[in-house]
């Protein structure tokens, strides 16, 4: 079955440490997204990528970095510059520029990041 896989499900970060969250999709989607969700809140866009080797900052990119070397993969690194990283991180994908302007997004089951 096609879908999006995020790993790990739970992650703990020590002070001054960078951590990387994995996101893999086998939906043959061009576009991928990273969101942050805080308790009781909606989703805020961190980074998005429309196509391989290209990505753009979202609304809250500071303290985060991404890469898009393969179509299937869009890893997110939470750097030590992100002072409040505790949150639920969600990865999503959609058809991208090959599709219409009206596209649903498909989500993984998230990674919960906490500070040690």
Partner 1 sequence: SQQGEEDPQALSIQEGENATMNCSYKTSINNLQWYRQNSGRGLVHLILIRSNEREKHSGRLRVTLDTSKKSSSLLITASRAADTASYFCATDAGYGGATNKLIFGTGTLLAVQP
**Residue number with CB closer to partner 1 (15 or 33):** 33
Q: Measured from the CB of residue 69, what is the shortest distance to partner 1 in angstroms?
A: 21
> Quick check: 47 and 57 in contact, CB under 8 A?
yes
Q: Measured from the CB of residue 55, what is the shortest distance to partner 1 in angstroms?
A: 12
Q: Say how many C-beta atoms besides its own lie within 10 A of residue 27's C-beta.
A: 14
**Residue number with CB closer to partner 1 (13 or 44):** 44
Q: Measured from the CB of residue 28, what is the shortest distance to partner 1 in angstroms?
A: 15
Q: Say how many C-beta atoms besides its own lie within 10 A of residue 14's C-beta.
A: 9
Token pair listed for 40: 């009781």
**Residue number with CB closer to partner 1 (69 or 109):** 109
Phi and psi torsions of 96, nearest 5°: 90, -150
Helix (H, G, I), strand (E, B) or coil at 109: coil
Residues that bind partner 1 (CB under 8 A): 4, 6, 31, 33, 35, 40-45, 48, 50, 56, 58-59, 90, 92, 94-97, 99, 101-110, 112
| Nearest residue to 66 via CA among 32, 25, 26, 109 | 32
**Residue number with CB closer to partner 1 (38 or 69):** 38
Q: Measured from the CB of residue 18, what is the shortest distance to partner 1 in angstroms?
A: 24
């Amino acid at each position: 079955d096609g879908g999006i896989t995020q790993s790990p499900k739970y992650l703990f970060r020590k002070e001054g440490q960078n951590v990387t969250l994995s996101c893999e999709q086998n939906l043959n989607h061009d576009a991928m997204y990273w969101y942050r969700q805080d308790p009781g809140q909606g989703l805020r866009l961190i980074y998005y990528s429309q196509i391989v080797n290209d990505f753009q900052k979202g609304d809250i990119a500071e303290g985060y970095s991404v890469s898009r070397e393969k179509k299937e993969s869009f890893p997110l690194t939470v750097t030590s510059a992100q002072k409040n990283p505790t949150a639920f991180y969600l990865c999503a994908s959609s058809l991208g520029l090959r599709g219409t302007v009206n596209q649903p997004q498909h989500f993984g089951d998230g990674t919960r990041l906490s500070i040690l």
